[in-house]
Structure 1
Amino acid sequence: MRKRVTIMNSPVDVLTMRETIDIIDDSIRERKSIQHIVVNAAKLVNMQEDEELYQSVVDSDIINADGMAVVWAASLLGKPLPERVAGVDLMQELVILASEKKYRIFFFGGREEVVSEVVRKYTTVFGKEIIAGYRNGYFKKNQEANIAAQIAESKADILFVAISSPTKEIFLNTYKDRLKVPFIMGVGGSFDVVAGKVKRAPVWMQKTGLEWFYRFLQEPGRMWKRYLVTNSLFIYYVLRERFSVNSNQ
């Protein structure tokens, strides 16, 4: 039985990157459908008020800690996690796995020029055999069922969904049984990184929990409110949980 901890009422799996990949590989090989999700500070905060997002997360089969803030919060709360399993890093590892194991991937989300560039880059490096199909992330609510059918018809082994929260979590939770894909995963802005539209923070910033700040520097006008509000609320919720535990002991 896999160990889980609870942070801000959300379950988080106690898993390393390697352990996560092994579980995913087994699920694909056995054709057993599982849904993966990552949580960071912003998502945990938004889950406090968004019931549909909350349910979409807790219904997932694997829940990894995407941000260092979540790892640090877990430690502060006495529920240590072995490491951060960033969504963009896991996606890259799974593309390599797909190349090695002859798995096929469907890429869904982002602007047309972004997702097509992701497919072009991966095709150049790993060959067209890993590509089951792709589609941009712009659609209306009444198109969702047709998109799910398109993905199912591709017979993909892996589905990456690069759509913002909570839309991607809700889409995956709603249609996961119709997709007929062994492994489905929301990857946020990972397509932008792979396509070269957004630069990844230096490794030292990733390890010290400053990746959010590097992201802010690239798009301050769009990101300042998100990080100011969500980071402040995240600290508040974690401290409240920490002192609540102490008062109950």
Structure 2
Amino acid sequence: MEQTVEILGIPFYNVSQNAFIEELMGAAANNERRFVVTANPEIVMHAQQDIAFNQAVLNADYIVADGIGVVKAASSIGKPLQGRVTGYDTMLGLLKRANEMKMRVYFLGAKPNVIEKVVEQVQINYQNIEVVGARDGYFSAEESALIAEEITASEADFVFLALGFPRQEKWIAANLENFKKGIFIGVGGSFDVFSGCTKRAPGIWVKLNLEWLYRILSQPSRWRRAMAIPRFMAAVQRQRKQG
């Protein structure tokens, strides 16, 4: 089994969800630094057009398949991945394990009311976690440097960023050298779901790999973003024919 599977120039780490959580926990326990990108078809397609974003993504230690489209694409080129490794499930798994080990967590992103509820949920459900910082995603370039300094001083074991792509990946890549330790992972809209402000797709939709469709039906404004999926699959088929 190949350790990575390359799809449209993006090397996806071939790992299961549970194994990935344990690998990150091991790195955190050893005070190591890791940069994680959870990539779906939309992110892959954006990386084709945005050179700075592409460089930020390729700078990551791990790029995992957050999207059934990526998993299907890997199978279509004859190099199957072990499955989806989503930002939301990775965050939940890490919070559970961090709670067991009484570790330190920093949250960055989302709206002010959402980040407040994220901290509340952690304090209720993960009482052994030390929340060493929580900032919403509305900050200036000048404030960005101060936030990086705050994260360094906090000695956070995990830093979850819900700034949306490409901003969260670019922010991590631009500031990564400032940090000596910590698992840095962009989790997109996960804070909204975790806080209860947005509903995640019901289990049956997730099981049938139709979470993307549920999001479109729940938020029709997302349909333009969903157009990246057919463009992604068409690009993958061109890759398959060429390779």
TM-score range, shorter chain: over 0.9
SS of match in other structure, 1:48: helix
Per-residue CA distance 1:140-171 (angstroms, 9 max, x = gap): 12221111011112121100000111110000
| Whole-angstrom distance in 1 between the partners of 2:178 and 2:115 | 23
Asked if 1:104 corresponds to 2:104, the answer is yes
SS of match in other structure, 2:74: helix
Per-residue CA distance 1:91-146 (angstroms, 9 max, x = gap): 00000011011111000000111011011011011116431110000011222111
1:1-249 matches, cutoff 5 A: 3-127=3-127, 129-220=129-220, 222-228=221-227, 230-245=228-243
SS of match in other structure, 1:95: helix
| Whole-angstrom distance in 2 between the partners of 1:29 and 1:40 | 28
In the alignment, is the contact (CA less than 8 A) between 1:16 and 1:83 conserved in 2?
Answer: yes
Per-residue CA distance 1:63-83 (angstroms, 9 max, x = gap): 110011110100001111011
SS of match in other structure, 2:37: strand
Unaligned runs of 5+ in 1: none
| Whole-angstrom distance in 2 between the partners of 1:48 and 1:203 | 32
| Whole-angstrom distance in 1 between the partners of 2:27 and 2:129 | 20
In the alignment, is the contact (CA less than 8 A) between 1:159 and 1:183 conserved in 2?
Answer: yes
Unaligned runs of 5+ in 2: none
Q: Which amino acid in 2 is paired with 1:242?
A: R
Q: Which amino acid in 1 is paired with 2:22?
A: D
What is the TM-score when the length of structure 2 is the normalising length?
0.96
State the 1:209 CA deviation: 2.5
C-alpha RMSD over aligned residues: 1.5
| Whole-angstrom distance in 1 between the partners of 2:209 and 2:7 | 18
SS of match in other structure, 1:184: strand
| Whole-angstrom distance in 1 between the partners of 2:200 and 2:242 | 36
State the 1:89 CA deviation: 0.6
What is the TM-score when the length of structure 1 is the normalising length?
0.94
User: Where does structure 1 differ by over 4 angstroms across 4 or more consecutive aligned residues?
Assistant: none
In the alignment, is the contact (CA less than 8 A) between 2:105 and 2:129 conserved in 1?
Answer: no
Name the count of aligned residue pairs.
243
In the alignment, is the contact (CA less than 8 A) between 1:98 and 1:130 conserved in 2?
Answer: no
In the alignment, is the contact (CA less than 8 A) between 1:67 and 1:84 conserved in 2?
Answer: yes
